[in-house]
């Protein structure tokens, strides 16, 4: 009996594979954006696609994000399935009007007659030493817009599975790719990629009994690291990876919090008006009688994203997470 040697793959490679497989499976799938063709994208996620499928399937567009998304809307109206790349989080802002005024609501305003199956890929978040405007966590803006799905993978396998799900979705999906996990590796076999659950399902990455860390995207590995370190303090932390911010999986999140009785929400996005406020409110509304302490948040500061030499102070790290866990009113138990 022979076994297939499974080599480590990066998240970027898994994303490339997902795009390739989606394009091979469905001729309606078109990749478009800045530098996605000849160059293969600044993060090389579209590497080789133009060569394999031709430049009409993987298109270098003019440098104009509203134009990219706006033309993708027209292409979707005509039955194509565009996958748009916004080069960086903060470069996606010119496309906001198209996203909010058309992409998110075309299905609803036409009573379902004109759905727009568009995937908007956005590399997001910090931790890669990017200069100004290259490290934003813009998920709260997208979450606040009804009609969009907002998805973000934290593992190599999820990157593949979720992107395939996003492209196959008949709804528009904002697919947030954690930049600093692009080069994270995992044993993953591109020849036998595993499917993931439909968009909207969170997953418990680590089971624990003491408290739940509720997180997503780039903060998932940080929370897993914090959970390991917490063992020394006698805390057995559970880590919930949301995977999808919209739709939000109240069921998995609340089941976890009911088990542990304590919760900390962790994300890079600013705390004020950030996703954590919504999550904390939902958990409190649903799990109040199971809670031993208020739901806490560990988030980025409420500042414009800092310059690279200072970003480590801004990003939620293991220590800040453990400090929050320590504030979960453990003394009340004794």
Partner 1 sequence: MTVMEQRGAYRPSPPPAWQPRTDPAPLLPDERPYRVLGTESAAKADPELLRRLYTQLVRGRRYNAQATALTKQGRLAVYPSSTGQEACEVAAALALEERDWLFPSYRDTLAVIARGVDPVEALTLLRGDWHTGYDPYAHRVAPLSTPLATQLPHAVGLAHAARLKGDDVVALAMVGDGGTSEGDFHEALNFAAVWQAPVVFLVQNNGFAISVPLAKQTAAPSLAHKAVGYGMPGRLVDGNDAAAVHEVLADAVRRAREGGGPTLVEAVTYRIDAHTNADDATRYRGDTEVDTWRDHDPILLLERELTDRGLLDEDTVRRAREDAETMAADLRERMNRDPEPDPMHLFDQVYAEATTQLREQRALLRAELEAEQQDQEGGHR
Annotated catalytic residue: which of 102, 134, 149, 314? 134
* Whole-number Å distance between alpha carbons of 225 and 318: 7
Q: Which helix (H) or strand (E) holds 229?
A: helix 219-230
Task: Figure out which of the listed residues 67, 306, 308, 317 binds partner 1, where binding follows CB under 8 A.
Answer: 67
State which of residues 26, 55, 97, 285 lies at the interface with partner 1 (CB under 8 A). 97
Q: Does 200 bind partner 1 (CB under 8 A)?
A: yes
Shortest distance (Å) from residue 333 CB to partner 1: 32
Cα–Cα distance between 283 and 157 in angstroms, integer?
A: 28
Q: Does 194 bind partner 1 (CB under 8 A)?
A: no
Question: Taking a C-beta distance cutoff of 8 angstroms, is the pair 145, 104 a contact?
Answer: yes
Contact call for residue 108 and partner 1 (CB under 8 A):
yes
Tokens representing residue 97 in the block? 């009007």
- Per CB under 8 A, the list member of 170, 233, 302, 323 interacting with partner 1 is 170
178: contact with partner 1 by CB under 8 A: no
Told to check if 74 binds partner 1 by CB under 8 A, we report yes
Coil, strand, or helix at residue 282?
A: helix
Task: State yes or no: residue 140 binds partner 1 (CB under 8 A).
Answer: no
Question: Restricting to residues 143-162, which ones interact with partner 1 according to CB under 8 A?
Answer: 146-147, 149
Q: Output the smallest distance, CB 297 to partner 1, in A.
A: 20
Q: Does 38 bind partner 1 (CB under 8 A)?
A: no
Contact between 115 and partner 1 by CB under 8 A: the answer reads: yes
Contact between 240 and partner 1 by CB under 8 A: the answer reads no
CB of 74 to partner 1, least distance (A): 2
Find residue 313's DSSP bridge partners.
Answer: none
Stretch that binds partner 1, among 63-71, 225-233, 259-267, 304-312 (CB under 8 A): 63-71
Work out whether 94 is an interface residue with partner 1 (CB under 8 A): yes
Name the residue nearer to partner 1 (CB basis): 8 or 112. 112
- Residue 295 near residue 165 (C-beta atoms within 8 A): no
DSSP state of 92: G
CA gap 246, 149 in Å, rounded: 5
Q: Among 10, 13, 135, 169, which residue interacts with partner 1 (rule: CB under 8 A)? A: 169
| Binding-site size, partner 1 (CB under 8 A) | 48
The Cβ-side half-sphere exposure at 190, using a 13 Å CA radius, reads: 16
Pairing label, strands 237-241, 203-206: antiparallel
Give catalytic status of residue 289 as yes or no. Answer: no
Helices (H), 245-293: 250-260, 275-287
Report how far residue 64's alpha carbon sits from residue 263's, in angstroms, rounded to the nearest whole number: 42
* 8 Å CB contact between 122 and 86: yes
Q: What pairs with residue 82 in β-bridges?
A: 30
Told to check if 102 binds partner 1 by CB under 8 A, we report yes
By the rule CB under 8 A, 306 interacts with partner 1? no
Sign of the dihedral defined by the CA atoms of residues 90, 197, 157, 321, in that order: positive
Q: Is the Cβ of residue 15 or residue 32 nearer to partner 1 in the bound state?
A: 32
Beta-bridge partners for 238: 212
288 binds partner 1 (CB under 8 A): no
Cβ closest to partner 1, residue 102 vs residue 267: 102
Exposed e or buried b per residue across 264-290, where buried means at least 16 C-beta atoms within 10 angstroms of its C-beta: bbbbbbbbeebbbbbbbebbeeebeee
Which of 1, 4, 113, 131 binds partner 1 (CB under 8 A)? It is 113
Contacting residues toward partner 1, per CB under 8 A: 30, 56, 61-62, 64, 66-67, 69-80, 82, 94, 97-98, 101-102, 105-115, 146-147, 149, 169-171, 200, 246-248, 250-251
Which active-site residues does the annotation give?
134
């Amino acid at each position: 009996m022979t076994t297939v040697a499974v080599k480590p793959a990066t998240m970027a490679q898994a994303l490339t594979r997902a795009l390739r497989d989606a394009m091979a499976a469905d001729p309606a799938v078109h990749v478009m954006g800045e530098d996605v063709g000849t160059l293969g994208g600044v993060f090389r996620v579209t590497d080789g696609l133009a060569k394999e499928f031709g430049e009409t399937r993987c298109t270098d567009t003019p440098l104009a994000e509203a134009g990219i998304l706006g033309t993708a809307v027209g292409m979707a109206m005509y039955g194509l399935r565009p996958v748009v790349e916004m080069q960086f989080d903060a470069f996606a802002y010119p496309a906001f009007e198209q996203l909010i005024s058309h992409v998110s609501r075309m299905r609803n305003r036409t009573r379902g007659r004109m759905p727009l199956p568009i995937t908007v890929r956005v590399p997001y978040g910090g931790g890669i030493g990017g200069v100004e405007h290259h490290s934003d966590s813009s998920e709260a803006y997208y979450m606040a817009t009804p009609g969009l799905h907002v998805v973000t993978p934290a593992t190599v396998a999820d990157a593949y599975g979720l992107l395939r799900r996003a492209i196959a979705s008949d709804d528009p999906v904002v697919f947030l790719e954690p930049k600093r996990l692009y080069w994270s590796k995992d044993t993953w076999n591109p020849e036998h990629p595993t499917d993931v659950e439909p968009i909207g399902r969170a997953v418990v990455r680590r089971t624990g009994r003491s408290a739940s860390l509720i997180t997503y995207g780039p903060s998932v590995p940080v929370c897993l690291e914090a959970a390991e370190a917490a063992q020394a303090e006698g805390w057995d932390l559970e880590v919930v990876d949301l995977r999808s911010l919209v739709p939000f999986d109240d069921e998995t999140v609340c089941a976890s919090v009911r088990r542990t009785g304590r919760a900390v929400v962790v994300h890079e996005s600013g705390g004020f008006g950030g996703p954590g406020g919504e999550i904390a409110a939902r958990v409190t509304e649903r799990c109040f009688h199971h809670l031993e302490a208020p739901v806490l948040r560990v988030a980025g500061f409420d500042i414009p994203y800092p310059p690279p030499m200072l970003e480590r102070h801004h990003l939620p790290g293991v220590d800040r997470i453990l400090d929050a866990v320590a504030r979960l009113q453990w003394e009340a138990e004794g």
